[in-house]
């Protein structure tokens, strides 16, 4: 099987474009005027039309010596070709110029009369060896060892190039940016030698609507290790076509390929036909279809990474194309519905069959798995409620079963998720008794201790998107295999007898109960959601054999909900949810959409939104139920406090000793729920742009976000993509100032402790730091979260102004620093001990580093260099300088990370500024939290900094003993004062952020206690007051704390304080 070729950045371009069949024009420049000839340029005949001063302004620009199905000439053949480029702004007549393929030869061919190249234009010559094919065909052919020489009408050599071998389907081209450099590239005949030029050429190859035959690519597998055996006896890759028409289609001569630049890489044999509504399977065995064979083969394979599958007409026009970036072993990529649906990976391939339940059932009947002495009996790959572990997690699991009447020693047997790695996880020396079921957790933790038979854990995890599980004998023989479908929360998949079923009540370590063969197909909401000025008529598509019910209040539809019988009139803001039901099947997944209907009022519940909308859709009981609702205090707290269980705040506040009994205070890490509850709920959300267009709809889970702010009426929310409920990522670029196009999770921050104050503090502090120049290169930056001010609706009800933000987790760092393995990242918070772990196990190293720093003299250069090898000291200096200058009185909110994929140095994240740039209060200078406060002595206090001095200052104080670090830190403070947080920039940012939400806040403030429009404005003014007054106090305190002379102050800060006290 061919693997993907690596391309040097200098010369190779990877253009991958998804293309639907549609009308596009063929290449129209001179390329089609006289299609192109081959590369040979030494001329002998006269008639030179270009004056001497113009010599050298026509260049050999591109040559293809392996044109196998890539660039057709006017006859439909694929000879090699040469492209010339006019690099002037004049029209040039090159009649009489000549080409040759030998340095010692005169021109073997001359351009005919009337050969003109437009300014910055191109002309193509085909080296077919047959001049009767057209005017621009040479009498010679090309090989990769030839030279190509271009001469003028006087016989003088104008340009030449020594050819060299290139990959089939690629050309040798002159760099558009470096005229002297030639490199392998995707062909771009008639266009510039750039990525854009190659893409423009490829666009000309797309078939028009009139050329469509109704046959499309339907499914393919690029890494077949155990799914399907080809005619040659190998597990070859394969491509499947589907005929969407009611008639048989003759595919003789049609092209199948793995690259759009070579659409006719293999032409299907004469007599190849595909039946009406049928499929055609093509085995990529690496050889052509043998004469008389009844199975179609093709002489190429697919790469596991970054390749294409292409279907083309006999003329090389691309009918269908799909470009993929990565293909997993034994996972196909398929369309659903057949031929026309969206492409998606599937762990349940159906080669040679339709991509639906019937096709899967038919394909599975061709397999012989599940009949050995040990079988894979049940798998749960979306576990949310079974076999809770001591760490509070619910890991996926695999169950095996001894089908015999005798015990079997398992030593050497193995489980794997990859057929190419049959010994991925090997069983220890344990006995599987006759008729015994044994469950192994797919945790990735690799526990294979024979003494822990009932607590075994594999070294791999399962994908909720679907996976393949293998059971191998000790000799590597495949004993059993299960194609595990996309997981759904708490639903397992396994065998009952010879059949495969889904189980709504999983039975680990026991026989499977009654199963159901599948799920009803999800209905489609045809009418797009969004924001509208009038009522909408919403239509649904009902799957065949099903009926559909719907709700408009967020509840999940049941069979008894309103039944859909025709368009639904939506005249007010609602969240529409629809679900399909089919006899003998589980109910379908739920389809959801938000319809915001503006009726012309100007009320809290109905006004024209001035911000983008995030609409939260979830069953009401998920939020408000006294037992299971995550937004209320709940029954247990109500019993202890006397409050109503549906209250959304604790009257006694977070000081209540029973605070952790409230439903909304349960969380995974810093406050594990003492009642053993799991506080996340399934959710759908829509992101609606300011123009009213729904840009994203996704499903996942929702959690309450924050710490002490959980007791606010307006609570923060976390939205997490989880395969048990939808996709594994939210595939949308929510933030314009980020390159990420998908997110594992995002948060909706209700400004936390700033919720009843300014609503803009965190956004302001972090944005100014990111937009400024801290002196750190981007690859070592103190990173911040992206923000976007939005309106939130909960089940259609207005819930006020929020900040949509990135969530600080491993993938946040991986995205910012282009790290391929987020799981390798260590991330800590607070003091970084074992109770302060977000990800990884780096806390031991971090605490050891801090202890070492506190125990050794960092003024010693060797000691300082050692610490600098463990942490980015400049990053840290930047971080603490910013924390101090913004006046963060709650500075204990600290997060930091490292990755062995980077340089494994600790770096810090700048976040959470509810209590920064505080108002100037009436307290003394030593007690104030406003701009008069000495934040330097507070931050470096020997007892600690932050709330209750709980955050260690050992590291910062140890580093300040080093003169170089001390100087660097002071320079960072100067940058913060003089460049990042200037009064002008702070005030401008306040104006911008306050202005963005000013209209919306007129309605928001009516929802919550403790805030009014006028107090909100006052809090924003307090930030302006900080901006206008803080610098002199900061200068005073930094000079006093570091005992700096006026001369040193002027040298570092360019000034001294003007305060006289």
Please state the three-class secondary structure of 640-682 as a single string: HHCCCCCCCCCCCHHHCCCHHHCHHHCCCCCCCCCCCCCCCEE
CA dist., res. 342 & res. 327, Å (int): 16
| Choice between 179 and 124, residue whose per-residue pLDDT is larger | 124
pLDDT band at 674 (very low <50, low <70, confident <90, very high): low
Q: 707 pLDDT band (50/70/90 cuts)?
A: confident
680 near 702, Cβ under 8 Å?
Answer: yes
30 vs 633, higher pLDDT: 633
How would you write 569-611 as a 3-class SS string?
A: EECCCEEEEEEEECCCCECCCCEEEEEEECCCCCCCCCCCCCC
Average pLDDT over residues 24-35: 33
Of 1058, 927, 916, 923, nearest to 976 by C-alpha is: 916
Q: Which two tokens stand for residue 447?
A: 């526990």
- Give the right CATH number for 30-204 from 2.60.40.1260, 2.40.30.10, 3.30.365.10, 2.60.120.10: 2.60.40.1260
Q: Give burial (CB, 10 Å; 0-12/13-18/19+) of 131.
A: middle
pLDDT for position 390: 86
Nearest to 953 by CA among 940, 965, 966: 940
The string of pLDDT tens digits covering residues 129-158 is 999 999 999 999 999 999 999 999 888 999
> Each residue of 290-334: pLDDT tens digit?
998 999 999 999 998 889 999 999 989 999 999 999 899 999 999
**448-461 pLDDT tens trace:** 988 889 999 999 99
Neighbours of 519 (CB within 10 A): 19
Burial class of residue 1024, CB neighbours in 10 A (0-12, 13-18, 19+): middle
Q: Pick from 460, 483, 454: which is nearest to 470 by CA?
A: 483
Read off φ and ψ for residue 638, nearest 5 degrees: -60, -40
Beta-sheet strand order (sheet of 562-563): 530-532, 591-597, 574-581, 547-551, 562-563
Q: pLDDT digit string (tens) for 243-275? A: 999 999 999 999 999 988 889 999 999 999 999
End-to-end CA distance of the chain: 80
**Residue 70 clears pLDDT 90, i.e. is over it:** no
Model confidence band, residue 66 (pLDDT cutoffs 50, 70, 90): confident
For the segment 739-760, what is each residue's pLDDT rounded down to a tens digit?
A: 999 999 999 999 999 999 999 9
Q: What is the pLDDT of residue 49?
A: 42
pTM over 0.85: no
Cα separation, 683 vs 937, in Å, equals: 46
| Calpha distance 415→1028 (Å, rounded) | 66
Residue 297 and residue 248 in contact, taking contact as beta carbons nearer than 8 Å: no
Convert the pLDDT of each residue in 607-627 to its tens digit: 999 999 999 999 999 999 999
Q: Cα 536 to the chain's mean position, in Å?
A: 33
- Give start and end residues of each alpha helix (H) in 162-283: 195-204
What is the rounded average pLDDT of the residues 441-447? 95
3-state secondary structure of 883: helix
pLDDT digits (tens, 9 = 90+) for 459-494: 999 999 999 999 999 999 999 999 999 999 999 999
* Contacts for 705 with CB less than 8 Å, ≥ 6 apart: 715, 716, 717, 718, 747, 748, 749
Task: Write the CB contacts of 861 (distance below 8 Å, at least 6 apart in sequence).
Answer: none
- Helix residue ranges per DSSP H, 772-860: 810-816, 843-855
pLDDT digits (tens, 9 = 90+) for 842-890: 999 999 999 999 999 999 999 999 999 999 999 999 999 999 999 999 9
pLDDT tens-digit profile of 191-243?
999 999 998 998 888 899 899 999 999 999 999 999 999 999 999 999 999 99
The DSSP bridge pattern shows strands 591-597 and 530-532 to be parallel
- pLDDT digits over 827-846, tens only? 999 999 999 999 999 999 99
Q: Please state the length of the chain.
A: 1061
What would be the CATH architecture of the domain defined by 374-503? Sandwich (2.60)
Is 997's pLDDT higher than 70?
yes
- Whether the predicted pLDDT of 105 surpasses 80: no
With a CB cutoff of 8 Å and minimum separation 6, the contacts of 773 are: 975, 979, 980
- Rounded to an integer, what distance in angstroms lies between the CA atom of residue 939 and that of residue 884? 7
- Mean pLDDT for 518-538 is 96
Q: What percent of the chain has pLDDT over 70?
A: 94
User: Residue 103: pLDDT above 60?
Assistant: yes
pLDDT value of residue 43: 29
With cut-offs at 50, 70 and 90, classify the pLDDT of residue 678: low
Q: What is the mean pLDDT of residues 40-68?
A: 58
- Buried-state track 485-513, b at ≥16 Cβ within 10 A, e below 16: bbbbebbbbbbeeeebbbbeebbbeeebe
Query: What sign for the dihedral angle of Cα 666, 672, 676, 682?
Result: positive
Average pLDDT, the chain: 91
Task: State the average pLDDT over residues 157-179.
Answer: 90
H helical segments located in 368-487: none
Amino acid 177: pLDDT: 87
Q: Which fold does the domain 524-599 belong to in CATH?
A: Immunoglobulin-like (2.60.40)
- The DSSP annotation for 345-385 comes to EESS--TTS-SSHHHHHHHHTT---S-SSEEEEEEESS-SS
CATH 2.60.40.1260 fits 213-364, yes or no: yes
Mean of pLDDT values over 963-969: 98
* Those residues with Cβ within 8 angstroms of residue 676's Cβ, 6 or more apart along the chain or in another chain: none
* Residue 798 pLDDT exceeds 60: yes
Long-range contacts of 1015-1019 (CB under 8 A, 24+ apart): 1015/756, 1016/757, 1016/758, 1016/759, 1019/757, 1019/758, 1019/919
Q: Using CA atoms in the order 694, 698, 701, 704, what is the torsion angle rounded to 10 degrees?
A: -20
Distance CA 993, CA 977 (A): 21
pLDDT score, position 473: 96
Q: From 86, 83, 168, 174, select the one nearest 124 (Cα to Cα).
A: 83
Mean pLDDT, range 104-130, rounded to an integer: 92
Please compute, for residue 1028, the number of CA atoms within 13 A of its CA located in the half-sphere on the CB side.
11
- Helices 873-885 and 1013-1042 meet at what angle, rounded to 10? 120
Q: Write down the pLDDT at residue 40.
A: 30
- Average of pLDDT values for 568-576? 97
């Amino acid at each position: 099987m061919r693997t993907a070729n690596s391309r040097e950045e200098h010369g190779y371009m990877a253009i991958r474009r998804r293309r639907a069949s549609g009308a596009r024009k063929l290449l129209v420049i001179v390329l089609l005027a006289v299609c192109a000839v081959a590369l040979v340029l030494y001329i002998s005949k006269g008639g030179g039309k270009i004056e001497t001063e113009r010599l050298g302004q026509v260049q050999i620009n591109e040559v293809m010596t392996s044109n196998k199905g890539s660039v057709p000439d006017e006859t439909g053949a694929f000879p090699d070709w040469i492209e010339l480029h006019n690099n002037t702004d004049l029209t040039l007549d090159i009649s009489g110029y000549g080409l040759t393929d030998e340095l010692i030869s005169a021109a073997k061919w001359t351009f005919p009369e009337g050969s003109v190249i437009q300014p910055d234009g191109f002309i193509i010559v085909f080296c077919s060896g047959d001049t009767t094919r057209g005017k621009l065909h040479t009498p010679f052919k090309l090989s990769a060892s030839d030279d190509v020489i271009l001469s003028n009408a006087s016989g003088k050599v104008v340009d030449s190039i020594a050819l060299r071998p290139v990959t089939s389907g690629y050309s040798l081209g002159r760099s558009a940016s470096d005229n002297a450099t030639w490199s392998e590239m995707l062909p771009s005949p008639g266009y510039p030698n750039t990525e854009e030029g190659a893409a423009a050429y490829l666009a000309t190859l797309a078939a028009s609507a009139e050329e469509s035959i109704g046959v499309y690519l339907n499914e393919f597998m690029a890494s077949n290790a155990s799914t399907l055996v080809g005619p040659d006896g190998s597990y070859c890759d394969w491509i499947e076509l589907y005929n969407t028409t009611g008639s048989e289609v003759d595919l003789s001569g049609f092209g199948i390929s793995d690259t759009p630049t070579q659409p006719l890489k293999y032409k299907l044999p004469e007599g190849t036909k595909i039946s009406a509504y049928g499929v055609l399977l093509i085995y990529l065995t690496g050889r052509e279809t043998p004469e008389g064979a009844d199975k179609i083969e093709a002489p190429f394979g697919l790469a596991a990474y970054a390749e294409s599958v292409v279907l083309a007409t006999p003329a090389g026009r691309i009918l269908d194309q799909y470009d993929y970036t990565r293909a997993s072993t034994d996972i196909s990529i398929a369309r659903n519905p057949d031929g026309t649906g969206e492409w998606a990976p599937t762990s349940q391939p159906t080669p040679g069959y339709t991509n639906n339940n019937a096709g899967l059932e038919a394909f599975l009947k061709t397999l012989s798995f599940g009949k050995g002495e040990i079988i894979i009996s049940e798998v749960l790959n979306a576990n949310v409620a079974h076999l809770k572990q001591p760490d509070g997690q619910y890991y996926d699991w695999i169950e095996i079963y001894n089908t015999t009447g005798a015990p079997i020693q398992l030593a050497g047997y193995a489980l794997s998720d990859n057929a190419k790695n049959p010994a991925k996880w090997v069983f220890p020396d344990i006995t599987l008794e006759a008729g015994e079921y044994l469950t192994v957790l797919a945790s990735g933790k690799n526990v294979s201790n024979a003494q822990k038979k009932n607590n075994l854990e594999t070294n791999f995890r399962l994908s909720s998107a679907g996976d393949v599980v293998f059971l191998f004998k000790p000799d590597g023989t495949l004993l059993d295999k299960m194609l595990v479908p996309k997981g759904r929360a708490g639903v397992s998949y396994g065998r009952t007898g010879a059949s495969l079923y889904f189980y709504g009540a999983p039975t680990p370590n026991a026989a499977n109960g009654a199963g159901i063969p599948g799920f009803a197909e999800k209905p489609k909401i045809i009418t797009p959601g969004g924001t509208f000025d009038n009522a909408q008529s919403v239509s649904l598509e009902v799957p065949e054999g099903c009926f559909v019910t719907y709700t408009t209040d967020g509840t999940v539809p049941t069979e008894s909900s309103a039944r859909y019988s025709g368009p639904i009139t939506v005249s007010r803001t609602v969240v529409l949810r629809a679900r399909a039901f089919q006899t003998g099947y589980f109910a379908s997944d739920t389809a959801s959409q938000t319809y915001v209907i503006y009726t012309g009022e100007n009320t809290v519940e109905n006004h024209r939104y001035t911000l983008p909308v995030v609409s939260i859709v979830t069953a009401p009981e998920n939020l408000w139920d006294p037992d299971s609702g995550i937004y209320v205090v709940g029954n247990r707290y109500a019993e202890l406090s006397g409050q109503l269980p549906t209250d959304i705040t604790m009257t006694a506040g977070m000081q209540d000793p029973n605070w952790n009994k409230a439903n909304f205070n349960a969380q995974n890490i810093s406050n594990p729920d003492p009642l053993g509850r799991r506080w996340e709920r399934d959710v759908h959300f829509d992101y609606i742009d300011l123009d009213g267009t729904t840009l994203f709809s996704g499903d996942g889970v929702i959690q309450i976000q924050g710490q002490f702010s959980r007791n606010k009426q307006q609570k923060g929310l976390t939205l997490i993509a989880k395969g048990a409920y939808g996709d594994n990522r939210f595939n949308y670029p929510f933030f314009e100032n980020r390159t990420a196009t998908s997110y594992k999770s995002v948060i909706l921050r209700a400004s936390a402790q700033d919720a009843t104050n300014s609503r803009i503090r965190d956004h302001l502090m972090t944005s100014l730091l990111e937009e400024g120049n801290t002196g750190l290169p981007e690859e070592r930056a103190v990173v911040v979260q992206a923000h976007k001010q939005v309106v939130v609706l909960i089940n259609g009800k207005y819930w006020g102004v929020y900040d949509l933000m990135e969530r600080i987790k491993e993938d946040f760092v991986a995205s910012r620093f282009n790290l391929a393995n987020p799981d390798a990242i260590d991330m800590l918070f607070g003091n970084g001990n074992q109770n302060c772990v977000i990800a990884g196990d780096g806390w031991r190293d971090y605490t050891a580093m801090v202890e070492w720093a506190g125990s050794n003299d960092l003024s010693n250069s060797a000691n300082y260099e050692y610490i600098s090898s463990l942490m980015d000291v400049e990053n840290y200096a930047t971080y603490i300088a910013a924390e101090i200058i913004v006046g963060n009185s709650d500075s204990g909110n600290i997060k930091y990370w490292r990755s062995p994929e980077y340089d494994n140095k600790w770096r810090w994240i700048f976040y959470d500024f509810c209590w920064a740039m505080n108002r100037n209060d009436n307290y003394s200078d030593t007690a104030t939290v406003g701009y008069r406060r000495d934040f330097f002595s507070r931050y470096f206090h020997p007892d600690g900094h932050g709330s209750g001095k709980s955050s260690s200052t050992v590291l910062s104080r140890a580093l300040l003993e080093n003169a170089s670090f001390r100087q660097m830190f002071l320079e960072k403070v100067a940058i913060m004062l003089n460049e990042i947080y200037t009064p002008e920039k702070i005030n401008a940012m306040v104006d911008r952020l306050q202005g963005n939400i000013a209209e919306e806040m007129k309605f928001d403030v009516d929802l919550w206690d403790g805030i009014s429009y006028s107090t909100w404005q006052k809090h924003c003014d307090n930030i302006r007051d900080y901006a206008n007054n803080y610098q002199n106090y900061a200068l005073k305190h930094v000079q006093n704390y570091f005992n700096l002379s006026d001369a040193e102050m002027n040298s570092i800060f360019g000034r001294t304080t003007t305060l006289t006290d």
